[in-house]
Amino acid sequence: MDNKEILLVVDTVSNEKGIDREEIFEAIESALASATRKIYQQDIEVRIDIDRNTGDYQTFRRWEVVEPDENGLAEPLHQISLEAALIDQPELELGDFIEEPIDSVEFGRIAAQTAKQVIVQKVREAERRKVIDAYTDREGTLVMGQVKRVERGNVYVDLGDNAEGFIPREDMIPRESVRPGDRIRGYLHKISSEIRGPQLFISRTAPQFLIELFKLEVPEVGQDLIEILAAARDPGMRAKIAVKSNDARLDPVGACVGMRGSRVQSVSNELAGERVDIILWDENEAQFAVNAMSPAEVTSIVVDEESGSMDIAVPEDKLSQAIGRGGQNIKLASQLTGWTLNVMDEAAAEEKSEGESRQLVENFMTQLDVDEEVAIILVQESLTTIDEIAYIPESELNDIEEFDEEMVKELRGRARDALLTMAIADEETAAAGEPQEDLLTMEFMDDELAHKLSRIGICTMEDLADQSTDELEEAVGIDPEFAAKLIMKAREPWFAEAEANAE
């Protein structure tokens, strides 16, 4: 290849692939440098300089100027000491390079092959950068293309302009059949800048895909007159979306359903027949959960904010509908609302409520040392903890018909005393320390028992060995025989030490 051919290659590749000429020149320089190193059969540092106008090129061997350590130069083929470099070029500094012209290699078959590989790699890298630049702003949107090939359930999609999308098998709708040549739409959820492998990752199972399809089918959503606030899917089977209207004149559910169900049907067809429930969003989370359980009828709901769960009661004959096939309805409703929803029939809900109320009554009777009648009144007033009795406004307790001011003051005093006692007990437990490794890993021991022991100051095997069977039985309430076995196990190191001393 002569000098003019180098310029021809640069211009041809640059025009066909849309790659900057400078990148092509750098690729050829890299290829010539590689070929030069092979000729010299040494790992030398080589620089090629191609004239961008004429295609002429020169070859230089170069060394970095460094300060050698006590062992000399770390890389003699690539480095030269500052002292030696200053002999010929006094202006040099550490980190500079000195160069010496050497014979340029002919751009023969090997060099041409190397150059081709480098250029091809540069072209691929440039094309991948172009794809990333073109699609960066489209991440989180719908894309459409033609199926190129299907490999082991993974689908490769031609998006045009040398861009290829990749749909992993797990992001395809189950039992959905696609063939090369099919047009397919998906949600672009990830763009990878890795040198190898797919770049544009597409999903047909993501909840966002469902939302974007409704934006496409329902103009009011695209105009922000209606908002889709959440979506949950069992891909290919069933889905739920939560909608809200920003215009009081618009019915968000009706708008998304469309005339005779045309809009929701179009979305369902795109999702391989996936059935879509459109749920009216409500700022009241309990009401939203009731809506999300549609089409099931909810008779009562109990919210537990501390655990992030809701107990939902339905008529017994509607229980299977509320749960759905394989738990599908309750699972989607939980995902849509962000709450853990526990569905049960009315009898079970009543039984659970009575059990919880009874537990609260017993707690108040124990913690406040009051009789059952007073405890029941507190529970009926929706009080659940002694913290509430101690610190809610006194006027709220005075409003309880059965209590007078003296009773209220007494209850608040007892509640605060109980809280103080509990705080002191917690401090003592914390001071006792955590169970140590030797106690936790000791034979016959489990984590629960080890932590029980640590709360009474028994944190090591040594501590346990000092105990008696009666003390252990009384402290943690375990069987005397098991207590004796634990203590003997803890004392084994003592016996081993005694035997060693006797010898």
Tens-digit pLDDT profile for residues 114-158: 666 777 777 777 778 778 888 888 889 999 999 999 998 899 999
3-state secondary structure of 144: strand
In angstroms, rounded to a whole number, what is the distance separating the alpha carbons of residues 432 and 453? Answer: 9
Q: Into which CATH architecture does domain 433-502 fall?
A: Orthogonal Bundle (1.10)
Rounded to the nearest integer, the mean pLDDT of the chain is 84
In angstroms, rounded to a whole number, what is the distance separating the alpha carbons of residues 39 and 69? Answer: 31
What pLDDT, on the 0 to 100 scale, is given for residue 460?
86
| Lowest-pLDDT choice from 265-279, 333-347, 468-482 | 468-482
Q: For 266-290, what is each residue's pLDDT tens digit? A: 999 999 999 999 999 999 999 999 9
Band of pLDDT at residue 108, cut at 50, 70 and 90: low
Band of pLDDT at residue 462, cut at 50, 70 and 90: confident
Q: Say yes or no to pLDDT of 1 above 70.
A: no
| Lowest-pLDDT choice from 54-58, 291-295, 415-419, 431-435 | 431-435
Here the tokens at position 254 are 């009706």
Higher pLDDT, 39 or 292: 292
Q: Say yes or no to pLDDT of 41 above 70.
A: yes
Backbone φ/ψ region at 457: left (φ over 0), alpha (ψ -120 to 50), beta: left
Band of pLDDT at residue 230, cut at 50, 70 and 90: very high
Q: Which CATH number fits domain 3-128: 3.90.245.10, 3.30.70.3280, 3.30.1480.10, 3.40.50.300?
A: 3.30.1480.10
Band of pLDDT at residue 404, cut at 50, 70 and 90: confident
CATH topology of domain 282-359: GMP Synthetase; Chain A, domain 3 (3.30.300)
In angstroms, rounded to a whole number, what is the distance separating the alpha carbons of residues 190 and 249? Answer: 38
What pLDDT, on the 0 to 100 scale, is given for residue 114?
63
What is the domain partition of the chain in residue ranges? 3-128, 139-205, 282-359, 433-502
| Lowest-pLDDT choice from 108-117, 281-290, 478-487 | 108-117
Band of pLDDT at residue 300, cut at 50, 70 and 90: confident
% of the chain beyond a pLDDT of 70? 93
Domains 139-205 and 433-502 share a fold: no
Q: 139-205 has which CATH code?
A: 2.40.50.140
What pLDDT, on the 0 to 100 scale, is given for residue 56?
84
What pLDDT, on the 0 to 100 scale, is given for residue 438?
86
Candidates 295, 246, 241, 292; CA nearest to 264 is: 241
Q: For 176-219, what is each residue's pLDDT tens digit? A: 889 999 999 999 999 887 767 678 899 999 999 999 999 999 99
State how far the alpha carbon of 336 is from the alpha carbons of 28, 77, 303, 340, 345, in Å: 57, 66, 16, 10, 22
